[in-house]
């Protein structure tokens, strides 16, 4: 039996947070680690663990995923998520959900109960209803701070300011059997338009898992992570170049930076290694294993 490990993130960016905001975010991270390690400690699967951790983060309003998501230019919330099993490279994803309480669970349903990988907007909503997934009124997801941020961004002509926070959540895990899995969920970008979909639900970009290398989840300027095929690129560097986990992760972030993008990545390998990095001022993140846990916004 191998070593289990769970790594999570709650978004990155300027992270100019009040003491109360930071404390709320760290509490949310600890709740997600509790949920994930409750699966992994007794020998549960990495796939179950990342879903459990992601569901906790989706329900916590400190993060831009599920409840607490940002609003698009029309003042609506549209939710994206993806999940992937490193054992078989099976994957499921959803984009543009508006009433499904847990997008990550909807993504898993796509993976396990449909012949497809990615469903979007009205079709994804219809599928979720057919599967009996929990739905809520769209207003349940909204918190006042996100409405105020939308007004600020629209008043600025749709441009972000220096306080931008890329608010995706994600979880990656390796279980005692050496299998890895990844989950990512997000509300996207404030004031996004035209049905914009970022990297989070795109397999090989913001979410990827492969037992031959690693599981990853990304947060940041999604268009750049898409162009870099960030998740697949990290695992390809390990498989083709023989790079270790941290070296491959750092190289992918450097490539994205050369393109003009910012963000962060978390990753675990089937051997139990963990790695993370970010090119912004901070990133909500945490890790847990049999030896203990850590959560942080800036250093550790």
Compute CA distances 62 → 23, 75, 171, whole Å: 10, 19, 16
**Mean pLDDT score across all residues of the chain:** 94
Give percent of the chain with pLDDT exceeding 90: 87
User: pLDDT-derived band of residue 15, with 50, 70 and 90 as boundaries?
Assistant: confident
Q: What is the 3-state secondary structure (H, E, C) of 198-211?
A: CCCCCECCCEEEEC
**Residue in 16, 18, 4, 81 with CA at minimum distance from that of residue 46:** 4
Where do we find the tokens 């023989």? 242
The stretch 105-116 carries a mean pLDDT of 98
Residues 25 and 19 sit within 8 Å (Cβ to Cβ): no
Q: Please give the helix or strand (H or E) that residue 186 lies within, else none.
A: strand 180-186
Give percent of the chain with pLDDT exceeding 70: 96
Q: CA-to-CA distance for 172 and 211, rounded, in angstroms?
A: 12
The pLDDT of residue 300 is 55
- pLDDT (tens digit per residue) in 189-239: 999 999 999 999 999 999 999 999 999 999 999 999 999 999 999 999 999
**Residue in 83, 95, 155, 156 with CA at minimum distance from that of residue 124:** 95
Considering only residues 248 and 156, tell me which one the structure prediction assigns the higher pLDDT: 248
The pLDDT of residue 16 is 78
Q: Please give the helix or strand (H or E) that residue 119 lies within, else none.
A: strand 118-120
- pLDDT (tens digit per residue) in 252-270: 999 999 999 999 999 999 9
The stretch 136-142 carries a mean pLDDT of 96
The stretch 61-78 carries a mean pLDDT of 95
The model's pTM: 0.96
The pLDDT of residue 256 is 97
165-166 and 90-97: which strand pairing? unpaired
Least confident of 87-91, 107-111, 152-156, 175-179: 152-156
Distance of CA 29 to the CA centre of its chain: 13
**Residue in 190, 174, 194 with CA at minimum distance from that of residue 182:** 174
Angle between helices 46-59 and 19-40 (to 10 degrees): 150
**Residue in 80, 67, 12, 8 with CA at minimum distance from that of residue 40:** 8
Q: Report H helices in 188-244.
A: 222-227, 230-241
Supply the residues annotated as catalytic: 168
User: pLDDT-derived band of residue 7, with 50, 70 and 90 as boundaries?
Assistant: very high
Considering only residues 37 and 12, tell me which one the structure prediction assigns the higher pLDDT: 37
The pLDDT of residue 156 is 82
The pLDDT of residue 162 is 42
- pLDDT (tens digit per residue) in 140-172: 999 999 999 899 888 887 665 445 666 799 999
Q: Enter the tokens of residue 41.
A: 């400690």
Q: Which domains does the chain have, with CATH numbers?
A: 5-291 (3.60.20.30)
């Amino acid at each position: 039996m191998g070593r289990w490990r769970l790594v999570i993130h709650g978004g990155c960016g300027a992270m100019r947070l009040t003491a109360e905001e930071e404390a709320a975010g760290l509490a949310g991270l600890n709740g997600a680690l509790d949920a994930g390690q409750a699966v992994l400690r007794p020998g549960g699967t990495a796939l179950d663990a990342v879903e459990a951790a992601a569901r906790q983060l989706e329900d916590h309003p400190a993060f831009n995923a599920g409840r607490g998501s940002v609003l698009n230019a029309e003042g609506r919330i549209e939710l994206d998520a993806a999940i992937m099993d490193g054992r078989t490279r099976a994957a499921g994803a959803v984009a543009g959900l508006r009433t499904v309480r847990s997008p990550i669970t909807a993504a898993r349903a796509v993976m396990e109960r449909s012949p497809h990988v990615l469903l979007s907007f009205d079709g994804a909503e219809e599928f979720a209803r057919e599967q009996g997934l929990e739905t809520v009124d769209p207003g349940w997801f909204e918190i006042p701070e996100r409405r105020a941020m939308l007004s600020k961004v629209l008043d600025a002509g749709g441009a972000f300011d220096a306080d931008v926070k890329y608010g995706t959540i994600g979880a990656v895990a390796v279980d005692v059997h050496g299998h890895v899995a990844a989950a990512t969920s997000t509300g996207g970008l404030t004031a996004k338009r035209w049905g914009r979909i970022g990297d989070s639900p795109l397999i090989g970009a913001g979410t990827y898992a492969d037992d031959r290398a690693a599981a990853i989840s990304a947060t940041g300027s999604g268009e750049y992570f898409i162009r870099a095929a960030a998740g697949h690129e990290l695992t390809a560097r390990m498989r083709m170049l023989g790079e270790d986990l941290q070296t491959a992760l750092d190289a992918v972030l450097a490539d994205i930076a050369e393109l003009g993008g910012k963000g962060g990545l978390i990753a675990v390998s089937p051997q139990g290694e963990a790695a993370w990095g970010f090119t912004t001022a901070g990133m909500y993140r945490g890790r847990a294993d049999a030896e203990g846990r850590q959560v942080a916004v800036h250093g550790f």
